Amino acid sequence: MIGRAFRISRIAMVLARYRLDTLMLDLPALKLARVVRMLPWGRRGVRDLSRGARLRLALEELGPIYVKFGQILSTRRDLLPPDIADELARLQDRVPAFPGKQAREMIEAELGKPIDELFSSFEEAPMASASIAQVHAAVLPDGTEVVAKVVRPGIEQRIRDDLELLGALARMARRYHPEGERIRPNEVVSEFKRVIIDELSMQSEGANASLLRRNWEDSEELYIPKIHWSHTADRVLVMERVGGVPVRDIEELKRQGVDLEKLARRGIRVFYQQVFRDNLFHADMHPGNIRIDTTDPSDASYIALDFGIVASLTPDDLYYIGENFLAIFNRDYRRVAELHVEAGWVPSDIRIDEMEAAARTVCEPSFTRPLEEVSFAEMVINLFNVARRFKLTVQPQLIMLQKTLLNIEGMGRDLYPKINIWDVAKPELESIFRERYGIGKTARKVGRELPSWLARGPEIPNLVHETLKLAARGRINATIASDDLDRIGGHLARHNRRVPGAILTAGLLIASSVLAAYDVGPWFQTHSLPAMIGFAAALFIGIRTFRR
């Protein structure tokens, strides 16, 4: 408890230093931190920074877990103002390395062998160090060059403590912040927890990489490094070492004569194939995780790294998001509205024409510009934001898709600013959908499912008969699951917490009124003084009860 109080106080002080104390929700225990504004070091240069920059700097000062939280939060553009989301997207892991000797000991403990048996050489100086793990170069006994990714020591306990604290802060934000219900801080923290727990498991990351590699094994467009499972455990991952040029090094790519337009168009196609063909996509494709193989500059290809965050969609979401994309490409806004209802993303009782008008308002202005200047990713994000007016509920996987789409489009425009996203994406998606949902694929799917349908067929008449019997007896029960019920439960809980204070306030007011009514002497005699005290106590308790 003392540790949590200390951490909350430290967070409060940092927020106050960067003039973000309005995020502290006016909790009395945290208000004292605002005195740091009065100190010279607490306000120097901060006043002139944007709110997004101040938040980014505060998260960097709080440490690597909060940096990672800011990175995940930057993907929730459905919740954040654009200026804050853009600034948080600039967060980078700049974490001091832990000693190489400690990394050696962890590898030996995880793999159960001395480092000299595992590798013919191992570099203790890390190649890179991030919030979750750091990477060391090594060579296997057969001469294969590899990299060993080692989870930071003690990070699991640190993450558990910080997740517990972030959960407590999220609950306070939902309860006290005026927009707590809209920004849904509990869901944001839950999403962060899911992502960061997955990143802690090197086995999980290795499995992600292996499956992606299988999908792209024969491709000349994307290369996934090989995982060496004999040298991989829960906290250690060893994979093939790859070269290439960082995708952000545009000048080097130009120097080597890389066809940047072709490379940019290839990146868009790779994204659509990962999502809609394979339904498994690298969901952390920022420039730091992408390299370019320039062996043939006229036919350069991509190399992906870091597979801690890989996502897929449900079959229904995959179909409906693809159909939405095609409807936007074709400027069919009524179809966009109908698809939102069919997918169950918005309630079925909304007015289709109103949502059609909202979609048209968001998308149509973009078509007044040349298509090479239109950001399809931003259009999709704005469309989902507008759909929130119609009680849109979006799954975390769709948020990861939006974020990845934004990264890929941004990377494509960095490589070749005049790229026409529509010209690449529309025919690619149409081709994938013809293959995925065409007659041939559907017939093969029916053929696979037919034996199962035939095996279950004899059971159907009995099931129908039993259901009709239960309906006739009035014994069919319905289960209701809704976010509205959660909100109602929260309101009832707050109401119940107020009841004792309200009863005490009413009792004091009645008692004080009776005492005052029977008083006939001076104020300092008989019942006047107790009545005045009762009134004051009732006023204090009443204000405190209903304010809380």
The larger pLDDT score, comparing residue 298 to residue 22, is at 298
The larger pLDDT score, comparing residue 357 to residue 531, is at 357
Mean pLDDT across 1-30: 61
Report CA dihedral (404, 405, 408, 413) to the nearest 10 degrees: -140
- The winner for highest mean pLDDT among 156-165, 190-199, 305-314 is 305-314
Classify residue 484: in a domain, yes or no. Answer: no
The pLDDT-based confidence of 4 (bands split at 50, 70, 90) is low
Domain carrying residue 264: 245-437
Note whether 303 and 379 are same-domain residues: yes
- Is 21 tagged catalytic? no
Mean pLDDT across 156-164: 80
Classify residue 481: in a domain, yes or no. Answer: no
pLDDT in tens, 359-375: 899 888 877 777 677 77
Classify residue 486: in a domain, yes or no. Answer: no
The larger pLDDT score, comparing residue 309 to residue 543, is at 309
Note whether 428 and 359 are same-domain residues: yes
Of 74, 76, 67, nearest to 89 by C-alpha is 74
Note whether 170 and 278 are same-domain residues: no
Mean pLDDT across 454-466: 75
Structure-token match 């897929």, residue found: 312
Residues 6 or more apart whose Cβ sits within 8 Å of residue 537: 508
Structure-token match 């000062």, residue found: 61
Position 89: which residue type? A
pLDDT of residue 81: 76
Q: How far apart are CA 501 and CA 518, in angstroms?
A: 26
Asked whether 301 and 223 are in contact (CB, 8 A), the reply is yes
Mean pLDDT across 51-64: 80
DSSP of 322-342? HHHHHHHHTT-HHHHHHHHHH
Q: How far apart are CA 497 and CA 347, in angstroms?
A: 32
Note whether 99 and 208 are same-domain residues: yes
Note whether 324 and 373 are same-domain residues: yes
Classify residue 478: in a domain, yes or no. Answer: no
Note whether 308 and 348 are same-domain residues: yes
- The region of weakest confidence among 84-93, 452-461, 469-478 is 469-478
Residue percentage of the chain with pLDDT more than 90 = 30
Note whether 219 and 328 are same-domain residues: no
Structural element, H or E, at residue 16:
helix 2-17
The larger pLDDT score, comparing residue 95 to residue 294, is at 294
Neighbours of 450 (CB within 10 A): 10
Note whether 520 and 510 are same-domain residues: yes
Classify residue 483: in a domain, yes or no. Answer: no
Mean pLDDT across 524-535: 60
The larger pLDDT score, comparing residue 378 to residue 318, is at 318
Asked whether 74 and 85 are in contact (CB, 8 A), the reply is yes
pLDDT of residue 126: 92
pLDDT of residue 136: 95
Structure letter (DSSP) for residue 276: I
Q: How far apart are CA 269 and CA 281, in angstroms?
A: 12
The pLDDT-based confidence of 232 (bands split at 50, 70, 90) is very high
The pLDDT-based confidence of 109 (bands split at 50, 70, 90) is very high
pLDDT(352) > 50: yes
pLDDT of residue 396: 60
pLDDT(414) > 70: yes
Classify residue 133: in a domain, yes or no. Answer: yes
Note whether 420 and 343 are same-domain residues: yes
pLDDT of residue 123: 94
- The region of weakest confidence among 245-259, 346-360, 429-443 is 429-443
Q: Which ranges constitute the DSSP H helices of 201-285? A: 202-215, 250-255, 260-272
What CATH code is carried by the domain that includes residue 229?
3.30.200.20
- The region of weakest confidence among 141-145, 441-445, 506-510 is 506-510
- The region of weakest confidence among 38-52, 86-100, 234-248 is 38-52
Relative to beta strand 222-223, strand 301-304 is parallel
Selecting among 78, 284, 306, 317, the annotated active-site residue is 284
pLDDT(182) > 60: no
pLDDT of residue 293: 94
Q: Which of 173, 196, 219 is the last residue of a domain?
A: 196
The pLDDT-based confidence of 29 (bands split at 50, 70, 90) is very low
Residue percentage of the chain with pLDDT more than 70 = 74
Q: How far apart are CA 72 and CA 191, in angstroms?
A: 8
Average pLDDT, the chain: 79
Asked whether 378 and 362 are in contact (CB, 8 A), the reply is no
Structure letter (DSSP) for residue 285: -
Mean pLDDT across 332-338: 92
Mean pLDDT across 185-207: 81
Mean pLDDT across 424-453: 81
The pLDDT-based confidence of 25 (bands split at 50, 70, 90) is very low
pLDDT(69) > 80: no
pLDDT of residue 226: 96
Note whether 59 and 105 are same-domain residues: no
Structure-token match 């409807």, residue found: 327
Q: How far apart are CA 403 and CA 329, in angstroms?
A: 19
Classify residue 476: in a domain, yes or no. Answer: no
Quick one: the chain helix, strand, coil %, rounded to 5? Answer: 65, 5, 30
Note whether 191 and 272 are same-domain residues: no
pLDDT of residue 335: 93
Note whether 229 and 164 are same-domain residues: no
Classify residue 487: in a domain, yes or no. Answer: no
- The region of weakest confidence among 175-189, 263-277, 353-367 is 175-189
pLDDT(77) > 90: no
pLDDT of residue 141: 94
This prediction has a pTM of 0.72
Mean pLDDT across 470-483: 64
pLDDT(30) > 80: no
Position 196: which residue type? I
pLDDT in tens, 489-526: 666 666 666 666 667 666 666 666 665 555 544 544 54
The pLDDT-based confidence of 3 (bands split at 50, 70, 90) is low
pLDDT(543) > 70: no
- The region of weakest confidence among 37-51, 225-239, 278-292 is 37-51
Domain count, the chain: 5
pLDDT(119) > 80: yes
Q: How far apart are CA 191 and CA 204, in angstroms?
A: 17
